[in-house]
Amino acid sequence: MDWDRRTFVKFAVGAVLGVHASPLIPKFMDDTAIWTQNWNWVPVPEDGAVAYAKTVNPHTGTGAMAKLIDGRVEGLRAIRVEGNPDHPLSRGGVVPADASALQLLYNNETRVAKPLLRNRATGVMTQITWPQALDLVGGNLAELAQKGQAHQAAALGTDPSSTTGQMLMRLMQALGSPNVAFTPTPRETMALAGLFMTGQPFLGFDLANANFIVSFGTPLLEGFGAPVAVRKAFAGWRGYPKNQAYLVQIEPRASVTASQADQWIACKPGSEGAVALAMCRIMIEEGVYDRAVESAYGWNDVDGMMGFKSYLMKSIDRAKVASLAGVSLPKLVKMTLAFAKADRAVAVCGPGNSGDPGRLYDFMSVLALNALKGNLGKPGGVVAQQPLPLKSLGGALPEPKQPPLAGSDRPFSVNNVHDLAEAALAGKPYGLKTLILCGGNFVFNGPQANLMHDLARKTPFVVAITPYMDESAAMADLVLPSTHWLEGWGDSTTSFGSPVACYGLHRPLVKAVAEAKDAGDTLLALAQRLGGPAAAALPYKNLAEALAKRSQAMGDFKKLAETSYWAQKRPAYGQMRFNTPSGRLELFSRTLRQLVSKGAGGGQDLDKAVRALGVKGGAQAAFLPHWEEPAAYAEGAAYPLIMQAAPSLRTTWGDEAITPYMVKILPDTVLANADKLVVEMNPATARDLHLYAGDMVLVESSAGSLTAKLTLYAGAAPGMVFVPLGLGHQAFGFQVAKKGMNFNRAVKVTSDPMSGMPIWELTGVSVKKVRG
Amino acid sequence: MATHQQGKKQRSRADWLLLVVGLILGSAFGFWITPTILYAEKPQPLQFNHKLHMEQVDNGCKSCHKFREDGSFSGIPGIKSCKNCHSGDEPLGNTPAEKEFMKFLKADKPIPWQVYARQADNVFFSHAAHAENAGLECTRCHGKHGESDKLRPYEYNRLTGYSRDIWGRGPIGLAGPPDRMKMDDCAKCHRDNGVNQACFVCHK
């Protein structure tokens, strides 16, 4: 046997066959197939004991159950957020923001783990220690106070009724600064309308028990109060073979609520309040109203001033209103008569589609309509919530000597973050030296994000207390990490529109990321660092102790924390108590008149005073529920169209950012080509502007602009453009950032007449085609 | 013609032996190289004597590998479970492993054991259904692990990341439990016992 080419080939063939007869090839193929299943980005929780813990999402008001796994090595980890079936409002339901909350909790890319100091020149962030961070902020504030410039420090927070919000107010007041503002909410507008007309600041709608609901331009199903509670009420309205309730939606767009309603009345933007008043007049003329309302203060003329009935008869003509609002008069009359006839009918006002706090006079008009229906204090009507039994965090503090940046010319204190920013930027009456952003991501959420961006850019020292490296944190000089709501203590109070008072408490369920602290604890540490009046104003070891003191009247704190909520047992049915000067329902608000007269110095011309507050109707209308033309109508020919947001529970809720999951479930009619914002326009309007579906357009207002892809939608009112809300982040990782554009960067905020609240429901815009 | 026949080399039949030799060597190489390059070892954080512990407890494996209140299986016990017996500050033995164990105990730190029998993430396996309802002995799948006096090195597959015990230690991975715990083994046992074999039974 010779070793030659042929023998070598035989050996080689034998070897190859031999290798194939071994497990090498099949085993590698098998394991390669298994390897393809092991995507390293799919989080696989460690095995361990599973437990559920009750909590409340403070951003949505949802009663939630966090599913926790007690890993042998990693410890507790939240693996899911479900609904808490025991919670009286959400009853086991969740919205996308709740269900995907863990995507914000466990996102190393965007969570702030340690205090960071930013170099403004280079933008580079460096990690510093907590004592160093507190020395920086404390030192800055102490220096301002020492120089008598404490008023040049301002703080912005999310919820003034939360314990952290209360702490922020006390800290700034003790420091001597009157400049604290919060995210504006419809709760404040409702509180004003309620106080002025009923003397009750906490009014809600008993939606679950109503059988005829008229919603005035408020997105009941896309974002209203505690969103799950409204969805649950809606589920109760539907039935087979017959619906249990009749829902009427009055708004300019065939929104989700409008398309789910039994009747959609497409009105012109901003005319909803006028429609409510027209319904009042129709009810009076047809004699189908509750006669008890005739005993209300201001039903007839008072003190030589016009009463509500006179105002309606003089200024609200049903045909003119129908024409102004662009609705069919016979349909309006028919619907009004059905409303009046229904045994449990309610008219609902609330936040606008753009998420603003709503217009005071529209809220008052809707309350007046409810009064005419006679549903105040009745099942399925408007009910007064029991005030939450919360204690104060301490005694009254001395008022700061300097006037606040905004609102000092108002007869009552107003939370207007927009006016504060505008005044600070103009330096009138003074500028800001320090700005503390305590959550809320104001640079993204605005209102009028451009303005908040400028405020953060131009203020010499900006501190952001936030769980995320969001748009606000990116502009801050100092970023202080705070806990996510599943990691730390915190509370939330009754959601807008709820018929019962409900307090939510959340506690640490999982270990906080690195050095993150509860925002409240950071404020307490800051107060300690400042010492003196600040430390005396907040004498608590930690936020948990403050929460325990504040919620003392709700029973054992430990038990309350485990239950996670306290709720009023049932709505307060029965005769509504009117805490007004007249002791009656006030259709002409004496409270408001007294406040304005006092603010105007008493002797001044009342008419001049109310006009200075933005009330075009003058003194004759200022204290009555009445309708005023929205400011966006007067934007002029340069901005001929009106922009409004198209909200969705899939794009946003509260001040938290959209999550990767929510981005994933957006249709092409909201976000096209994975990253292009889509705006809606009526085909006729597009035709007039020579625009076609798929065109890239520039939507420009006097305050800012955005570019988007155009889609044509017959359900959009002519002359308008509708923009999805909550998109266009520049932060929060690759799954969320650079998806669409931010609606808040194009809105123009104005002040609501009389209330002085910032409103941005409608913005005058121009739309033109751009390349792209 | 004759010239042509003279030119053709007479080949020995023994040439074919080289094919067989190649086959044997190639196969041997395959059997040797497969586990060598595919598997790597990870040390256990400390040694553990199952045999010794089994002598101390009354309820066999279930003394420590318990079912939780919700019916789920606890798997390897946590440090809290160890404290039921190792409650004092002093070690209960004088082995190096015991000294190492005391460090974890005092720091209340979980012991990062490597789990020999951990199934793939896409497998739902209920110990309650098998050990409680069907009455299978632990040894059916875990062999004589409970009688061992020391922990063998943990081997894992470099490609899949799974324990070698899943594919089995046999050279061609054809043995059944307790040597191997692959899907075929689950399916065979389900088939033999008339249990549902649908995908969703194990892959939720």
Q: Tell me the DSSP string of B141-169.
A: HHTTGGG-SSPPPEEEETTT--BHHHH-S
CB nearest B24 (choices: A10, A18, A50):
A18
Partners of B76 on chain A (C-beta within 8 Å) are 72
Residue type, A728: G
CB nearest A35 (choices: B17, B122, B160):
B160
Helix (H, G, I), strand (E, B) or coil at A595: helix
Q: How far is CA A42 from the centre of its chain?
A: 32
Compute φ and ψ for A765, nearest 5 degrees: -140, 165
Given a cut of 60, whether residue B3 has pLDDT beyond it is: no
**Residues contacting A226, CB < 8 A, separation 6+:** A60, A61, A62, A89, A90, A495, A498, A502
Q: What distance in Å separates the CA atoms of residue A435 and residue A152, rounded to the nearest whole number?
A: 9
Q: Which residue of A has its CA nearest to B80?
A: A72
HSE-up of A399 (CA within 13 Å, CB side)? Answer: 5
CB nearest A32 (choices: B23, B78, B159):
B159
Q: What distance in Å separates the CA atoms of residue A218 and residue B148, rounded to the nearest whole number?
A: 70
Task: State the pLDDT at residue B173.
Answer: 74
Q: Which tens digit of pLDDT belongs to each residue from B97-112?
A: 999 999 998 888 888 8
Closest of A644, A157, A236 to residue A417, by C-alpha: A157
A14 interface with B at CB cutoff 8 Å: yes
Q: What is the CA radius of gyration of chain A?
A: 29
Reported as a pLDDT band with limits 50, 70 and 90, residue B81 is confident
Helix A519-530 vs helix A130-146: angle between axes, to the nearest 10 degrees? Answer: 50
Strand pairing partners for A462?
Answer: A435
Closest of A414, A390, A383, A416 to residue A202, by C-alpha: A383
- Cβ pair A14:B18 closer than 8 A: yes
Helix A318-325 vs helix A272-286: angle between axes, to the nearest 10 degrees? Answer: 150
A22 interface with B at CB cutoff 8 Å: yes
Query: Residue A692 to residues A682, A697, A715, A769: CA-CA distances in angstroms?
Result: 11, 10, 16, 9
CB A576 within 8 A of CB A376: yes
Whether B133 maps to a domain, the answer reads yes
Is residue A294 packed enough to be buried (19+ CB in 10 Å), middle (13-18) or exposed (0-12)? Answer: exposed
Whether B153 maps to a domain, the answer reads yes
Q: Which tens digit of pLDDT belongs to each residue from A121-180?
A: 998 999 999 999 999 999 999 999 999 999 999 999 999 999 999 999 999 999 999 999
CB nearest B70 (choices: A18, A34, A50):
A50
DSSP per-residue string spanning A344-367: TEEEE----TT-----HHHHHHHH
Task: For chain B, give the number of residues.
Answer: 204
CB A462 within 8 A of CB A156: no
Q: Which of residues 48-87 of A touch B (CB under 8 A)?
A: 49-50, 72-73, 75
Task: State the pLDDT at residue B8.
Answer: 65
- Whether this model's ipTM surpasses 0.90 comes out as no
Given a cut of 80, whether residue A259 has pLDDT beyond it is: yes
Reported as a pLDDT band with limits 50, 70 and 90, residue A463 is very high
First to last CA, chain A: 77
Given a cut of 70, whether residue A320 has pLDDT beyond it is: yes
Q: What is the CA radius of gyration of chain B?
A: 25
Q: Which tens digit of pLDDT belongs to each residue from A202-228?
A: 999 999 999 999 999 999 999 888 889
Size of interface A-B (CB pairs under 8 A): 117
Q: What distance in Å separates the CA atoms of residue A200 and residue A191, rounded to the nearest whole number?
A: 7
- Cβ pair B26:A15 closer than 8 A: yes
Helix (H, G, I), strand (E, B) or coil at B174: coil
CB A158 within 8 A of CB A183: yes
Strands (E), A223-273: 246-250, 263-265
Q: Which long-range contacts (CB under 8 A, 24 or more apart) does A7-14 make?
A: A7/B15, A7/B18, A10/B15, A10/B16, A10/B18, A10/B19, A10/B22, A11/B18, A11/B19, A11/B21, A11/B22, A12/B22, A13/B19, A13/B22, A14/B18, A14/B19, A14/B20, A14/B21, A14/B22, A14/B23, A14/B24, A14/B25, A14/B26
Whether B84 maps to a domain, the answer reads no
Whether B32 maps to a domain, the answer reads no
Compute φ and ψ for B165, nearest 5 degrees: -60, -20
Q: Which tens digit of pLDDT belongs to each residue from B16-69?
A: 888 999 999 999 999 999 889 999 999 999 999 999 999 999 989 999 999 887
Given a cut of 90, whether residue A42 has pLDDT beyond it is: no
Closest of A307, A353, A266 to residue A652, by C-alpha: A353
Q: What distance in Å separates the CA atoms of residue A679 and residue A670, rounded to the nearest whole number?
A: 7
Cite the DSSP H helix spans in A442-584. Answer: 442-445, 449-458, 471-475, 519-530, 532-537, 543-550, 557-563
Given a cut of 80, whether residue A602 has pLDDT beyond it is: no
Compute φ and ψ for A76, nearest 5 degrees: -70, 135
Q: Is the dihedral of CA B63, B69, B75, B81 positive or negative?
A: negative
Query: Residue A4 to residues A1, A9, B15: CA-CA distances in angstroms?
Result: 9, 9, 10
- Cβ pair A16:B26 closer than 8 A: yes
Whether B21 maps to a domain, the answer reads no
- Cβ pair A27:B23 closer than 8 A: no
A771 interface with B at CB cutoff 8 Å: no
CB A396 within 8 A of CB A736: no
CB A89 within 8 A of CB A570: no
Query: Which range among A72-76, A493-497, B82-86, B164-168 has the greatest average pLDDT?
Result: A493-497
Whether B86 maps to a domain, the answer reads no
Whether B47 maps to a domain, the answer reads no
A28 interface with B at CB cutoff 8 Å: yes
Reported as a pLDDT band with limits 50, 70 and 90, residue A261 is very high
Given a cut of 80, whether residue A695 has pLDDT beyond it is: yes
How much helix, strand and coil, in percent to the nearest 5, is found in chain B? Answer: 45, 5, 50
Q: How many angstroms away from the CA of A513 is the closest CA of chain B?
A: 19
Q: Which tens digit of pLDDT belongs to each residue from A357-413?
A: 999 999 999 999 999 999 999 999 999 999 999 999 999 999 988 889 987 778 888
| Lowest-confidence pick of A223-227, A306-310, A632-636, B93-97 | A632-636
Q: What's the domain count of chain B?
A: 1
A29 interface with B at CB cutoff 8 Å: no
**Beta-strand pair A382-384/A203-205:** antiparallel
Q: Which domain holds residue B139?
A: 115-202
CB A406 within 8 A of CB A151: no
Q: What pTM did the predictor assign? A: 0.85
Q: Which pair of tokens denotes residue A59?
A: 């951003």
Helix A163-175 vs helix A130-146: angle between axes, to the nearest 10 degrees? Answer: 50
Percent of chain A whose predicted confidence (pLDDT) is above 70: 98
Partners of B172 on chain A (C-beta within 8 Å) are 23
Whether B35 maps to a domain, the answer reads no
Task: State the pLDDT at residue B1.
Answer: 44
- Cβ pair A14:B173 closer than 8 A: no
Q: How many angstroms away from the CA of B143 is the closest CA of chain A?
A: 22
Q: What distance in Å separates the CA atoms of residue A685 and residue A717, rounded to the nearest whole number?
A: 9
Compute φ and ψ for A385, nearest 5 degrees: -75, 150
Q: What distance in Å separates the CA atoms of residue A413 and residue A408, rounded to the nearest whole number?
A: 8
Q: What distance in Å separates the CA atoms of residue A478 and residue A263, rounded to the nearest whole number?
A: 52
Residues A621/A625/A627/A628 CA torsion (nearest 10 deg) = 60
